[in-house]
Amino acid sequence: MQTPPTPAAADEDAEYADNLRRATLASSIGSALEYFDFALYGLATALIFNVLFFPQEDPAMATVAAFATFGVGFVARPFGGLFFGVLGDKFGRKIVLVITIVLMGGASTLIGVLPTYETAGLWAPALLVVLRLLQGFGAGAEQAGATVLMAEYAPVRRRGFFSALPFIGIMAGVLLAGLVFSLLTMLPESALMTWGWRVPFLASFLLIVLAVVIRARLHETPTFVEMEKHEQVADRPLREMFKHGFPSVLVGIGLRMGENGGSYMIQGLALSFFVTVVGPEADKSLLTWGVTIGSLIGMITVPVSGALSDRWGRRVVYRAGALFMLAYSFPAWWALTLGSYPIAIAVIAIGIGVAVCTMLGPQCAMLPELFGSRHRYLGVAMAREISAVLAGGLAGVLGAYLIAITDANWIVLAVYMAVLATITVVSTFLVPETLRRDLSRTDDAVKISRVEAGDDVWLGGSQPVAAGAVTSETTFSAVRSGQ
């Protein structure tokens, strides 16, 4: 017969459950805002910014330039991840998440009031680049913080599921962007190009206010609280990350190449490719429904794949998603050349909802599990944001350039996406299984050590917790075990 919890334990578990719900909501809103902004910007880049912010003597090169500004935001992300990641490991997860949401959302709102090339000349793209840099700088630590926050709050046996819940916010953000843009493109061309495109950027302000109010009430994660209590907080997390965590960063980058690069190829580049194939008469509003439907599918796929990773392990589920994307690359880009709207919508929807999201689900718990507690925020931020530059940021500008110089050759783009997926497949074989790893551990899951020194060999992670260390297994036991 199970012994009933004491009143003190019951109060502790009730408080933990309340904070878990608040953390889920706070992370979800931030994720929604980040991906609403980036999906919206990706859609606008392919269909609006290339016309309004750049000279039109060569439309193809104007599109390349527009995607270059899209990529600029990714360049700023690693610097934001580095700066705020250090702060998150030194001063806590909560304060950084408040700062990043204000910076990221504020820049997005200001995009909605920018002058166009026709009225401001070169100042228009210059200001657009500045705001993209600020947006990327804030976003560089936003998703990493949300990921770490939820992993450190989540019940151990259901960490994959709970960590994936805020990423429904990602799909919600992409869904909202797709819906908004689909509705906007139904406006007359003159209205869309004058004031219509500005509305969703200005509306970002509402999400900022909501997110700040919720995050201000959020408690610090149990893991960081215990670190502070036992004086385990790193004075120099950057130094520790480069000394001990760099192998995990490299593997994390590889894991993200297929998911992040494939996502931005499907969300933004596929629309530009289809318009190039069909011609100027292409109905842009129909195409964005692919993003909308894919996001709806992803709102189911992400938590389901996260939950499956709690049962079968992170690696096998992640690898399944990467293999699907690899197999999907060639038929997907070939199908877009048919010029069929229903087929194009299905290609985009399956690419986002199945290929990308099957990797995204287990990734939510897996990335934090790769890193030790003293440099986890920084490590996750570096893995996410360096990969965002190499995969997502490069995908837009390089893909647009490939479309221009190859006369929209689908094989080149299919090879590109297949290479990204292959990198991720290989990376799943270079990481140990991190399922149910104790997040209070200070060592990383991925190690490269010298055998002659008597240390763990490649892919260790079996070191015992230091004597006397307080682990997550001793805290909030009832809630964490799913009771």
CA distance 478 to 8: 12
Q: What is the pLDDT of residue 58?
A: 65
- Alpha-carbon dihedral sign for residues 167, 169, 172, 173: negative
Name the DSSP letter for residue 458.
S
Segment (H or E) for 87: helix 59-91
pLDDT, one tens digit per residue, over 316-342 is 999 999 999 999 999 999 999 898 889
Q: What average pLDDT score do residues 209-227 get?
A: 81
Residue whose pair of structure tokens reads 């151990």 in the numeric block: 156
Q: Distance between CA atoms of 131 and 129, rounded to whole angstroms?
A: 6
What is the tens place of the pLDDT at every residue in 381-400?
Answer: 999 888 888 887 777 778 77
Domain boundaries, the chain: 16-472
- From the list 113, 155, 109, the residue with the least C-alpha distance to 13 is 155
| Residue 301: band (very low, low, confident or very high) from pLDDT cuts 50, 70, 90 | very high
pLDDT confidence of residue 34: 72
Alpha carbon distance 10, 395 (integer Å): 50
Whether the pLDDT of residue 251 is over 70: the answer is yes
| Spatial distance between the Cα atoms of 198 and 53, rounded to a whole number of angstroms | 13
Confidence grade of residue 61 (pLDDT, cut at 50, 70, 90): low
Tell me how far apart the alpha carbons of residues 83 and 87 are, in angstroms, rounded to a whole number.
7
Q: What kind of fold does domain 16-472 have according to CATH? A: Growth Hormone; Chain: A; (1.20.1250)
Question: What are residue 449's phi and psi, to 5 degrees?
Answer: -125, 160
Check residue 286 and give its pLDDT.
73
CB burial readout 281-316, b (16+ within 10 A) else e: ebebbebbbbbbbbbbbbbebbbbbbbbbbeebbbe
Contacts of 142 (CB under 8 A, 6+ apart): 30, 31, 34, 97, 100, 101, 104
Mean per-residue pLDDT, 48-52: 75
What are residue 145's phi and psi, to 5 degrees?
Answer: -65, -40
Q: What is the DSSP letter of 231?
A: T
The alpha carbon of 54 is separated from its chain's Cα centroid by a whole number of angstroms, namely 28
Q: What is the mean pLDDT of residues 363-372?
A: 92
> 99-103, 196-200, 372-376, 457-461: which has the minimum mean pLDDT?
457-461
Angle at 165 between CA 26 and CA 172, to 5 degrees: 75
What radius of gyration, in Å, describes the C-alpha atoms of the chain? 22
pLDDT at 260 exceeding the cut of 70: yes
- Judge whether residue 2 has pLDDT over 90: no
pLDDT confidence of residue 197: 80
pLDDT digits (tens, 9 = 90+) for 388-445: 888 877 777 787 788 878 877 889 999 999 999 999 999 999 999 999 898 888 888 8
Give the orientation angle of helix 123-153 with respect to helix 376-387, to 10 degrees: 140
In this prediction, residue 131 carries a pLDDT of 86
Q: Per mean pLDDT, which range of 217-226, 257-266, 375-384 is the poorest?
A: 217-226
Cα 151 from Cα 169, distance rounded (Å): 16
What confidence tier does 451 reach under pLDDT thresholds 50, 70, 90? very low
325 in Cβ contact with 356 (< 8 Å): yes
pLDDT digits (tens, 9 = 90+) for 129-168: 888 888 888 887 888 888 888 898 888 899 999 999 888 8
User: What's CA 234's distance to the chain center, in Å?
Assistant: 26
End-to-end CA gap in the chain: 15
Question: Could you tell me which of 274, 309, 308 has the C-alpha nearest to residue 291?
Answer: 274
Structure tokens at 9: 């334990």
Mean pLDDT of all residues belonging to the chain: 80
d(CA 180, CA 433): 40
Amino acid at position 415, single letter: V
Question: Tokens representing 160?
Answer: 């994959």
CA distances from 408 to 27, 132, 355, 473 (A): 39, 27, 23, 54
Query: What is the residue-wise DSSP string for 114-172?
Result: ---HHHHTTHHHHHHHHHHHHHHHHHHHHHHHHHHHHHHHS-GGGHHHHHHGGGHHHHH
State phi, psi for 115 to the nearest 5 degrees. -75, 160
pLDDT-based confidence at residue 314 (cuts at 50, 70, 90):
very high
458: its two tokens: 């490649």
Contact 377, 191 (CB under 8 A): no
Q: How confident is the model at residue 246 (pLDDT cuts 50, 70, 90)?
A: confident
Closest CA to 200 of 101, 105, 118: 105
